[in-house]
Structures are given as structure tokens and as C-alpha cells.
Amino acid sequence: MPMRDNSLSEGSTARRGRRLLLVIVAFAACEQPPPREARPAAVAAPAPVAVVPGDAKAAGPGGGEVLARTDAVRSLDALSADERRRYQAAVAEGRRLHGTRDYEGAVEAYGRALDIAPGQARTLSEQGWAALFADRLDEAAAMLAGAEAAAGDDTRLLASILYNRGRVAEAQGKTDVAVDAYQRSLRLRPHPAAYRHLTGLPGGTRYVFGPAVRGLQGPYGSLAELCAEERRLSADQRPAIDADTFSCLHDASQGLAGPAVDVPRRSRLPAPWTAIRFIETQPSAFGVRIHAALRTEQGWFVLPDTAVLSRGTPGMEERPTALSAHSEELVGGGAAEMVLEVETQWKHHDGGTELESERHRVEFLCGIGPSGRPSCTGAIPRATDARRRARGRVLHTRWAVDREIEAGTTLILGGDPEKLDEPAAALLGRHGLSFP
């Protein structure tokens, strides 16, 4: 194994980030509301936030903490007739004041409603949204943290709350938090507003890096439904000249990937998996996205943006070199899991001379737990091979990450941290692994 060239390895990571920006398109300044179903009736402005479930605090002014309301949740069914009337009147007043752009007044009105019925997720979300417009950002983050913790299994409301959290984090300049919030919102309910804000941020794609397990989009009755949704999500990103360039291939082997696609037939899949596909979408002339679709009896579940490739840049070439899937016993005690492998290659050339090339291989571990719905890890780095021509010689970096499952509950990633790039090295060690 050659000695590590730090400048090549670290530059490799930076260039991947810069290339990702090539496929990000600037968005119009006008704002759209969040999903209609996720908004309370009669709200004049959007409504959704993002915080890790159970996190009830946010940074306050000067580095202190602003705590979300921790009053015991009181069910609306437990209110007396008079309390219900006053609660509804306070919420209506908050919405009215928000509509007139009296955001401070709206925050206070929602506060009066929450004094009567603490812990109402929708009202906390509306209060946090008003606090954002009132420029009370730390309070908004805390309110929305409380809203997320109280949202329970209401996925549409939670998607809206996560969207709001992303908006607050954007206003605070916390890009990583905003990206995470929008990603989680889109997994629950894909919506153009969340997608536009996500892809408008540096590094903002639905591609998730690391071993944390997340649910998938879906289920979809058909892949045509997915393609229609992808078209809608990317519609306002295409300039007028590209209005008709959107395409969606149900089988990526018919597109850019070609023979790189290798997935098992249905007869070779263990139950409850019934089909695996890689989907290729081209939202504009400048980018291609590869998505993984896994089908069970419930329908198609989708892991979006397993690869995001830039196109149309002179001297640059980027393509998938391997898209494969196989079953593997990982956690045991149920259905076999699916391992998705994605390898991409990027080349920079000048005429017939190759100046740089990078090949990256990652895998996603997918399984079905007690919920009955598939979920997958983010991208787990497995190997990189990078070459760069400099001063008449070729600098070469090559590394690999070993993956082991211990006792069906622990994912162990091993490798030489001196050879790995920083994002991969940060993942070395032990990680809990379970599918909800």
C-alpha cells in the first residue's frame, strides 16, 4: 500500500464537495408554503421544524440555552368547554395576527393557547414559525424542538415541523442542521418547498452519509408515481431552456449506468423483498441522480440520491461504475437484509490527457424491523482510489474500510485512519445497528 498523500486525499474530499455544487441550481427568491396537509387551516404562511426527537433545547443568546416548554402535555379532550373555547380563540388570534404580519403578537397569542393546553405539537409549530418571522430564532428553535418531540406518529405534521426547523437553522446560519432537517422532512413527505431549500444549500442533496438508519420514501404503487413526484420536486429548478429535459428511467441499466447495474431477479430475493431497482432521473441537462427502489408487498420504497452526478462540464466526466444489490444476514431474527453497493467514477481530462480521476464505493444496509417498513443506513464508505497528475508524476491514493457485524446489533468499521480521508476516518469504530 503506498504512503498516504495528505494533499491528494484531503483535496479529494474538497473536490467532491465542489463538484456537488455544480448540480445545485439557484432558486427564485419567492417562497412557497409547506405541504397543505401539514398546515393548520387558515394559516397565512407556511408551517413546518427540525430537531433530533427528544432534544428540547437550543442555543440561546451568548451561547446559553433556551428551553422548550416542558409543561406536561394536556389533551384537548380533557379541556372543559370554557377552556376549549379560550384555547381555540387564542389559536385563531395567533393565526390572524400572523396573517397581518404582527409576528410578536402571534407568538404571544399561541403562548396563551399553550398555557391552557400545554404540549400541543401543531400549536408549538405555529408558535415557532411565528417566532422565526419575529426574528426570535433561538426561541423558535426551542419551540419547534418541543413540537417535534410531541408530534408522535403524525408523519405529515412532523414533516412540516422538520421543514420549519430547516428554515430556522438556515436563518441561524447552521447549514448542517438545516440540511439534516430538510432531508428528514423529505423522507416523510416529499415537497417542492423543502426540496428547493435543501438543494439551495451547499452540499444540499438527499444523499445521507454515515451509518445512521432512516426510513425510506413511500410506499409508491408504481415507479411511475415516483417519476411524477421527482418531476414535480425539480420543476422550479429547471430554467425555461431546460423545461423539457426531465427524464426518468425505471431501470438505470438503460441509461448512464448501462452494464454497471447488477440486481437479483425476483426469484432470487428472500421474502419479503419482491424487487430491487436502480432508477435514473435527469432533472436538468446538468445533473443525473440515481435512486434505489426496494419493493415489498406494501409497494415501492425509495432511497433517494444514492448518487448525484454532474454533467455537461467541459473536461469533466462522472458516471456510475457499479450499482448492485445482494441479500445478506446482518441482524438476524427475521428477513434477510439487502446490501446496496454504489460505485462512481469522476475524471478530469484535458484533451486526451487524464489529469485527475477518483473512484468511490459506498454501501447502504437496508432491512425491515418491527414496523414492517424498510429502512436503510446512509452511505457507508468502503473504498476510494484517486489519482492526480502533478509535476510530471502521478500521485496515487487508495484505501478501504472493512465492515463487520457483531452479534447482529453492532456495526464495526475498521481501517487505517492515516490513509482514509477525514469523513471516512470519522466513522471508524462501533455503531449500533437496528431497523425500526
CATH of the domain at 137: 1.25.40.10
For residues 54 and 121, state if they share a domain: yes
For residues 178 and 273, state if they share a domain: no
pLDDT range class, residue 393, cuts 50, 70, 90: confident
> Is there a domain that residue 1 lies in?
no
Least reliable range by pLDDT among 11-25, 133-147, 245-259: 11-25
For residues 176 and 215, state if they share a domain: no
State yes or no: pLDDT of 10 exceeds 60.
Answer: no
Cβ neighbours of 301 (radius 10 Å): 22
- The stretch 364-390 carries a mean pLDDT of 95
For residues 285 and 330, state if they share a domain: yes
Q: Are strands 353-368 and 337-350 parallel, antiparallel or unpaired?
A: antiparallel
Residue predicted with more confidence, 87 or 72: 87
What pLDDT does 55 receive? 34
For residues 406 and 275, state if they share a domain: yes
Residue predicted with more confidence, 181 or 24: 181
Domain final residue pick, 179, 199, 219: 199
Q: Are strands 402-406 and 393-400 parallel, antiparallel or unpaired?
A: unpaired
∠ CA 50-23-222 to the nearest 5 degrees? 70
Residue predicted with more confidence, 164 or 334: 164
For residues 211 and 159, state if they share a domain: no
Q: E strands within 242-352?
A: 247-249, 261-262, 275-284, 287-296, 299-310, 316-328, 337-350
- The stretch 298-320 carries a mean pLDDT of 93
Residue predicted with more confidence, 256 or 62: 256
For residues 134 and 162, state if they share a domain: yes
State yes or no: pLDDT of 361 exceeds 70.
Answer: yes
> Is there a domain that residue 148 lies in?
yes
State yes or no: pLDDT of 351 exceeds 90.
Answer: no
For residues 152 and 12, state if they share a domain: no
Residue predicted with more confidence, 302 or 23: 302
For residues 133 and 259, state if they share a domain: no
> Is there a domain that residue 30 lies in?
no
> Is there a domain that residue 91 lies in?
yes
What is the residue range of 48's domain?
Answer: 36-199
For residues 272 and 325, state if they share a domain: yes
> Is there a domain that residue 140 lies in?
yes
* pLDDT tens for each residue of 210-249: 999 999 999 999 999 999 999 999 886 655 445 578 999 9
Under 8 Å between Cβ of 288 and 352: no
Domain final residue pick, 184, 199, 214: 199
What pLDDT does 318 receive? 94
pLDDT range class, residue 110, cuts 50, 70, 90: very high
Q: Distance (Å, rounded) from C-alpha 316 to C-alpha 20?
A: 13
Cβ neighbours of 196 (radius 10 Å): 21
- Number of domains the chain contains: 2
> Is there a domain that residue 29 lies in?
no
Q: Distance (Å, rounded) from C-alpha 186 to C-alpha 111?
A: 29
Q: Are strands 374-377 and 353-368 parallel, antiparallel or unpaired?
A: antiparallel
What pLDDT does 153 receive? 87
For residues 159 and 240, state if they share a domain: no
Domain final residue pick, 137, 171, 199: 199
Q: Distance (Å, rounded) from C-alpha 430 to C-alpha 433?
A: 9
For residues 70 and 214, state if they share a domain: no
pLDDT range class, residue 73, cuts 50, 70, 90: low
> Is there a domain that residue 28 lies in?
no
What pLDDT does 78 receive? 87
pTM of the model: 0.78
